[in-house]
Amino acid sequence: MKVGLHPALSDTNLDANQPSSQRQLSIAIRAITQSQDQSLPLNLCLILDHSGSMHGRPLETVKKAAMQLIERLKEGDRICVIAFDHRAKVLVPNQAIDNLNTIKSQIRQLSADGGTAIDEGLKLGIEEVAKGKADAVSQVFLLTDGENEHGDNERCLKLAHFAVEHKLTINTLGFGASWNQDVLEKIADSGSGTLCYIEQPEQAVQEFGRLFNRIQAVGLTNAYLLCELMDGVRFAEFKPIAQVAPDTIELPLQPQGDQFVVRLGDLMTDAERVILANLYMGQLSPGYQAIAKLQVLYDDPATGEEGLKSEQVPVEINVQSTYQPSPNTKVQQSILALAKYRQTQIAEAKLQTGDRSGAATMLQTAANTAIQMGDKSAATVLQTNATRLQSGEELSDADRKKTRIVSKTILQD
C-alpha cells in the first residue's frame, strides 16, 4: 500500500509585481492499492445507547442494523459491543468472528431502560476495542439518541482525544432529533471520523451500512500531513487549514521544528481526503518558485510497520512579470465546500443568540454557495430553513441537525 499525494493551487500563476498574495492549496491524499495488497482485518466496536428513550422501534431497528453489520465481518475480523444507559456494560467482549449466532443472541437480548451517560459507554468501548488493535483497522461506532444527561461532555471529548492518541477512530451516529450535534461532531472530528444522522428508525440499517463501506476501504492508518513552507510563505493566522472531503472538518495545525503537522487519520483506497490550506506569500522573483514541500507520515496495518513516510512532493508556483490568472476549478469546489460549512456555522451561532434575521441571511448565503457547488440536497435544506426563519417559524431539532449534516458533506442520493 502506498500514499497518493496530489497538491493543487487555486491559481498556479502569481503576479511578480504584488508585494503580497494569497492562494488556497488543495491537497488530495489517499491510499493506493498495489497488486499484492490484501484487505485489512477490522477491529470494530459498537457502542449502543439502550436508554429508556430507545424503547420500541428505535432499539429494534438499531439491533437489526448491528446484526446485519456483524454478518458482513469476515474471518480475521474482530468485534466487541458495549451497551450503555446511565451505566455501561460489555455486551460482547473483544473477540474474533467465530460464532456469529452467539454474538447476535447477545444483541437481541438488549432492552431499553435508564438514562444516558455517553462517556461511560465511550470509556468502556475504548478499553475493549484497544485489546484487538494490533495490525488491524480499529474503528468505533458510537450511537445515541439523547443528551448526555447522566454524563460529562468534557469527559467525552477528553476520551475522544485519548482514542486518537491510541490510534482509534470514532464515528458517531445521532439517532432521532434529541442528540447533541455539537458533542457528537466534536467526538467524530477529533480523529477524522464521520458524523451520521439517523432521522427515522428505518434509516438505521442504511447508515450503519454506509459507514461500514467507508471503513472497509481504509488502507492506511494514523496518517499525518507534514508541511514545510519556504521563506516568505506562511499560513493564514485564523483557521489556516481544514479538511473539505469526504467531510468538512476544521483541523488543528501544529508547528514541529521547521514543519507543520496536521493529523489526517485513516486513508481510504476509494476516496480522497482533501485538505485545503490558506497561504500568504510575499513578493517572489519571476519564474517557477517552490513554496512548500509536502509529505505523509503513516502506519501500514498490513505489514505492521509504523511511522512510514511517503515521498516528499514539492509545490511550485509560476511567478509572472505579466500576470495571467490560471484558476483551478477543482480547487474552487473545495473553497466553496469550506465556505458552505463556515457560513452555516455562523448561521447556527446567530440563531443561538436570537438573531433570527442574521441566521436566515447566512443560511440563504450558504444555500447559494451549495447551488454554485451543484449540491442540490444541501441547497434545498438550507434554503427551506432560511425561508422558515424569514417567515417567523422556529427550526425544529431535526431541521438543525439536517443543516449540520448537509454543511459537512455532500449527501448521496
What is the chain's pLDDT, residue by residue, as a tens digit (413 residues)? Answer: 899 999 999 999 999 999 999 999 999 999 999 866 677 899 999 999 999 999 999 999 999 999 999 999 999 999 999 999 999 999 999 999 988 999 999 999 999 999 999 999 999 999 999 999 988 999 999 999 989 899 899 999 999 999 999 999 999 999 999 999 999 999 999 988 999 999 999 999 999 999 999 999 999 999 999 999 999 999 999 999 999 999 999 999 999 999 999 999 999 999 999 999 999 999 999 999 999 999 999 999 999 999 999 999 999 999 999 999 999 999 999 999 999 999 999 999 999 999 999 999 999 999 999 999 999 999 999 999 999 999 999 999 999 999 999 999 876 54
Local structure of 86: helix, strand or coil: coil
Whole-number pLDDT of residue 412: 52
Whole-number pLDDT of residue 413: 46
Segments in 72-203 forming alpha helices (H): 100-108, 118-129, 153-165, 181-190
**Whole-number CA gyration radius for the chain:** 22
Residues contacting residue 349 through CB under 8 Å, at least 6 positions apart: none
Nearest to 301 by CA among 142, 80, 76, 140: 76
Q: In the block, which residue shows the cell 505523509? A: 296
Whole-number pLDDT of residue 411: 63
| Dist CA 220 CA 138 (whole Å) | 11
CATH code linked to domain 1-324: 3.40.50.410
Nearest to 243 by CA among 257, 259, 223: 223
Question: How many Cβ atoms sit within 10 Å of the Cβ of residue 396?
Answer: 12
| End-to-end CA gap in the chain | 31
Whole-number pLDDT of residue 39: 79
What sign for the dihedral angle of Cα 201, 211, 78, 72? positive
Number of H helices, E strands in the chain: 10, 19
Local structure of 20: helix, strand or coil: strand
Q: In the block, which residue shows the cell 506562511? A: 234
| Dist CA 74 CA 46 (whole Å) | 16
Residue 194 has what DSSP assignment?
A: -
Answer yes or no: are the C-beta atoms of 390 and 360 closer than 8 Å.
yes
